[in-house]
Amino acid sequence: MNDTATTSEEPGHIDRPLFVAVMLLVAFGIVMVYSASVVMATHQMDNSTYFLGRQVVYAVIGIVIMMMVSRIDYHIFQNSAVIWTILGISFAGLLLCHTPLGATINGASRWLRMGPITVQPAEAVKVSLILWLSYSLAKKSSRIKSFSIGFLPHLLVPGVLMFACMLQPDFGTTVVIALLTFSLLFIAGAKMGYIMLAGIVAAPIAYLLATGSEYRFKRLLTFLDPLATRYGDGYQLTQSLFGFGSGGLTGVGIGDGLQKFLFLPEAHNDFISSIIAEELGVIGIWMTMLLCAVVIGRGILIGFRARDEFGSFIASGLSILLGVQVLANMGVAMGLLPTKGLNLPFVSFGGSALVFSLAAIGVLLSISRGGRVPQLKEMSQRNWSSKGNVRKANRAGSEGVA
């Protein structure tokens, strides 16, 4: 793949398996969104391709952004002004949801109206938090073992974001942020004792939050026995399980599922894996997981090969974010986890999620290119050559400012 020369301005090749796997997932997502939403779209919008059309537009926008981001040297995020601005905007977005700019749907203020489109700031928060944590952890890598410098700030900032998420309320994102924070602290080498301590403190809080709200407690009960309340609170989960059951090993065939006939709420969104299971069966679910695994695996590999700690943290953080989302989404659809509003990355319908996920992949691709660090040119060439993954030095760092 290295012999097919591109322009000499290129810093390096993007990671092609990652790119292909993501494109396959996006394409698969478009197909599944159409299949899952066609009934609802016809029914509510009087336009069977309403969701399909939107998802295609989001995908195009997302891919353009991804390609753009992949050409930006990821070290731009290592600038404290830049990273704080990004984090600040995301955080402001979370808070703005409660203002008249926000939109409240089903009692949750998770959306921001921006002209004709609505944006879900939580999707941005997840990605920007990974960037910030990576920046901060890389900066403080030498003092990571200390509590006040290496540990506490990396709990405080996510803590504030989590609090903002709980205000929405968005329990799912809160949990994802917590998991990401602990993961990155662990990777960066924070003291295990601190992490465990934080975990011990966090667990009762999480428990109180989960049981404190009647609605979340009900969800918890529902998850324990969905069929018992299948006409009430367990309805959605029961319907999702029906999808898995009806699909069997190989599914009923794409487009032929019945659960999307308004039986399963959110079929095109949080519960799309149930539609995948119904129409493509257990095999379909496994193949989807395999594609996601390729994306995550390549992300981890990019993290291994990144030229600095910063890139390594970002890549592993984003990979873990994807992994957590995939597992949580499917786990919820199967009733293995309590119901949370988490989408299946690249596949579920949703502009914010798709665009920010693709932007995150753009960052991963940028890391895979190695970034523009001229002084490291020779070193990188030597190292990568020895691993049989040759990147030509003249391509690696000669790009201008992005």
What is the C-alpha to C-alpha distance for residues 168 and 165, in angstroms, rounded to an integer? 5
Chain residues 16-55 in contact with another protein, contact rule CB under 8 A: 39, 42-43
When the beta carbons of 259 and 357 are compared against another protein, the nearer one is: 259
Residues 181-210: x where in contact with another protein by CB under 8 A, - otherwise, as a string: --x--xxxx---------------------
Using the contact rule CB under 8 A, the part of the chain among 10-18, 76-84, 127-135, 238-246 near another protein is: 238-246
Applying CB under 8 A, what is the total number of residues that bind another protein? Answer: 62
177 binds another protein (CB under 8 A): no
Which residue in the set 78, 316, 352, 366 belongs to the binding site for another protein (CB under 8 A)?
Answer: 316
302 vs 1, 163, 212, 318, CA distance in Å? 16, 32, 41, 11
Which residue in the set 91, 151, 244, 271 belongs to the binding site for another protein (CB under 8 A)?
Answer: 244
CB of 275 to another protein, least distance (A): 13
Which residue in the set 84, 215, 217, 304 belongs to the binding site for another protein (CB under 8 A)?
Answer: 304
Which residue in the set 92, 196, 286, 394 belongs to the binding site for another protein (CB under 8 A)?
Answer: 286
Which residue in the set 1, 200, 249, 401 belongs to the binding site for another protein (CB under 8 A)?
Answer: 249
306 binds another protein (CB under 8 A): yes
Which residue in the set 73, 266, 308, 399 belongs to the binding site for another protein (CB under 8 A)?
Answer: 308
Chain residues 85-124 in contact with another protein, contact rule CB under 8 A: none
CB of 184 to another protein, least distance (A): 10
Query: Which positions touch another protein (CB under 8 A)?
Result: 39, 42-43, 141, 183, 186-189, 227, 229-233, 235, 238, 241-242, 244-249, 256, 258-259, 261-263, 277, 281-282, 285-286, 289, 293, 296, 300, 303-304, 306-309, 311-312, 316, 320, 323-324, 327, 330-331, 334-336, 376, 379-380, 383
